[in-house]
């Protein structure tokens, strides 16, 4: 331990304050405190050495040493505050709100492509005087088949692979299923209304189906039904032709070919001429060179169906049709796989 002197105390004080001036972070400040004012700090050492001096010197240097200690304590407190403040200012600068920054975009939803096409199709029919009705997706066998001239054991049942529901009514007789088409609504509407009838029925249907690019186990249909006195096949053709032109363009041609559905007679499938290649392109993605694309099944309501709802078949005739909106959307927008509609991939859905 060196003998303290007035000079050494002054020197030490000066050195300490000079060093302190250069410090601007709390860590260095703490090191500084330890090296001068800590238990083994240089000023602490000096003060401790005072005890060896004689009384006169001790009094003189003691006062000086205390002064020095007070000064350094004070400067330390000051410096601590300074650094604290500077750090706060920095933190504010870091966190400050940039009012010019763009807000986060709120995603805006849109209608599902199927909903859009269903709306487009039903709008076309509404403008021709049809109204829209909806029916149950879980349906009695009675409406899905029986009332449509498809009795139990009839081979036509094989046209639809059904998903049966394990439920029977009190009589224990009526099997239920997820409707395989919207046609049961033909019978339901007729049961509840008297002609004239003009309705379209959009809705979901289900079939027990192995899915592939053109088959889904659930899909939409839009049923159409018109019943009145004197309705003929010409009305069917005229109405559906007008629909095709509204949806696919003024210059569309249509073709009707015989087809079989148990609840219509005669039954047809309707095609429109290919709007992509007008026929002739064997590689055409849409018609595959045939020039025609099938868009729906249709026909004159079978007299048996009219009779089963109690209509006078001498007085009333009607036509019915069934459209697959996903198929229409696929044709219209060049979608190559029906499964895209219900896999909820936003990259697909955003395009519509
Ligand atoms: N329901 C028939 C089907 O699902 C389509 C159809 C409806 C045919 C109305 C004729 C009349 O295949």
**Interval between CA 260 and ligand 1 midpoint (Å):** 9
d(CA 135, CA 204): 9
Give the pLDDT confidence of 303-351 residue by residue, as tens digits.
999 999 999 999 999 999 999 999 899 888 888 888 999 999 999 998 9
**In sequence order, what DSSP letters do the residues of 152-172 get, joined into one string?**
TT-GGGGGS--EEES---TTS
**Interval between CA 321 and ligand 1 midpoint (Å):** 6
Shortest-distance atom of ligand 1 to CA 267: 10
Angle between helices 113-126 and 233-248 (to 10 degrees): 130
Question: Whose C-alpha lies nearest to ligand 1, atom 8?
Answer: 297
Give the pLDDT confidence of 99-117 residue by residue, as tens digits.
888 888 888 888 999 999 9
d(CA 296, CA 222): 10
Q: Which band of pLDDT confidence, cut at 50, 70 and 90, is reported for residue 168?
A: low
Residues with a known catalytic role:
160, 181, 207, 221, 264, 320
**Interval between CA 182 and ligand 1 midpoint (Å):** 8
Q: Structure tokens of 216?
A: 């889904």
List Cα–Cα distances, 256 to 39, 47, 167, 298, in angstroms.
106, 115, 40, 9
Give the pLDDT confidence of 1-10 residue by residue, as tens digits.
567 888 889 9
Q: Which of 147, 202, 221, 262 to mutate to test the pocket of ligand 1 (most atoms within 8 A of CB)?
A: 221
% of the chain surpassing 70 pLDDT:
98
Q: Decide: 261 in ligand 1 pocket, CB within 6 A.
A: yes
Residue 107's closest CA among 349, 304, 330? 349
| b (16+ CB within 10 A) / e for 28-43 | ebeebbeebbeeebeb
Q: Decide: 322 in ligand 1 pocket, CB within 6 A.
A: yes
Q: Structure tokens of 61?
A: 């240097």
Residue with the larger pLDDT of the pair 285 and 16: 16
d(CA 52, CA 312): 133
d(CA 316, CA 309): 12
d(CA 142, CA 151): 9
Q: What φ, ψ does residue 196 adopt, rounded to 5°?
A: -75, 140
Shortest-distance atom of ligand 1 to CA 186: 9
Q: Are 199 and 130 in contact (CB under 8 A)?
A: yes
pLDDT tops 90 at residue 59: no
- Greatest Cα pair distance, the chain, in angstroms, is 140
Give the pLDDT confidence of 206-238 residue by residue, as tens digits.
999 888 888 889 999 999 999 999 999 999 999
Question: Whose C-alpha lies nearest to ligand 1, atom 5?
Answer: 322
* Sequence-ordered alpha helix ranges (H) in 23-54: 26-37, 42-49
d(CA 52, CA 299): 123
Q: Is the pTM of this model over 0.85?
A: no
d(CA 253, CA 245): 8
Shortest-distance atom of ligand 1 to CA 182: 1
Average pLDDT, the chain: 90
Pairing of strands 197-206, 131-132: parallel
Give the number of C-alpha atoms closer than 13 A to the C-alpha of residue 317, restricted to the C-beta side. Answer: 12
Number of residues written out for the chain: 352
**Interval between CA 215 and ligand 1 midpoint (Å):** 16
pLDDT tops 80 at residue 133: yes
Amino acid 266: pLDDT: 96
d(CA 160, CA 78): 89
Over residues 129-153, mean pLDDT: 94
Amino acid 103: pLDDT: 86
């Amino acid at each position: 331990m060196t003998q303290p002197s007035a000079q050494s105390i002054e020197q030490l004080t000066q050195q300490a304050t000079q060093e302190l001036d250069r410090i601007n972070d709390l860590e260095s400040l703490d090191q500084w405190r330890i090296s001068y004012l800590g238990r083994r700090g240089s000023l602490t050492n000096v003060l401790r050495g005072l005890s060896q001096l004689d009384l006169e010197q001790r009094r003189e240097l003691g006062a000086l040493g205390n002064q020095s200690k007070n000064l350094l304590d004070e400067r330390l407190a000051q410096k601590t505050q300074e650094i604290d403040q500077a750090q706060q200012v920095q933190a504010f600068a870091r966190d400050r709100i940039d009012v010019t920054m763009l807000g986060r975009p709120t995603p805006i939803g849109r209608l599902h492509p199927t909903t859009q096409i269903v709306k487009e199709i039903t709008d076309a029919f509404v403008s021709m005087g049809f109204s829209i009705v909806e029916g149950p997706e879980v349906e009695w066998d009675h409406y899905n088949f029986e009332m449509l001239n498809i009795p139990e054991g009839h081979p036509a049942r094989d046209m639809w692979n059904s998903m049966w529901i394990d439920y029977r009514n009190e009589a224990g007789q009526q099997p239920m299923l997820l409707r395989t088409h919207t046609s049961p609504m033909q019978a339901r509407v007729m049961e509840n209304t008297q002609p004239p009838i003009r309705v379209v029925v959009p809705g979901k249907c289900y079939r027990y189906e192995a899915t592939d690019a053109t088959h889904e186990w659930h899909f939409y249909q839009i049923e159409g039904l018109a019943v009145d006195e004197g309705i003929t096949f010409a009305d069917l053709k005229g109405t559906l032709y007008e629909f095709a032109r509204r949806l696919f363009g003024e210059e569309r041609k249509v073709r009707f070919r015989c087809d079989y559905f148990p609840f219509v007679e005669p039954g047809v499938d309707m095609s429109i001429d290919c709007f992509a290649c007008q026929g002739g392109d064997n590689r055409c993605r849409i018609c595959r060179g045939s020039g025609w694309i099938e868009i729906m099944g249709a026909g004159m309501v079978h007299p048996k169906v009219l009779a089963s709802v109690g209509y006078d078949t001498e007085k009333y005739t009607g036509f019915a049709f069934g459209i697959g909106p996903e198929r229409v959307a696929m044709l219209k927008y060049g979608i190559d796989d029906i499964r895209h509609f219900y896999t909820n991939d936003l990259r697909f859905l955003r395009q519509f």
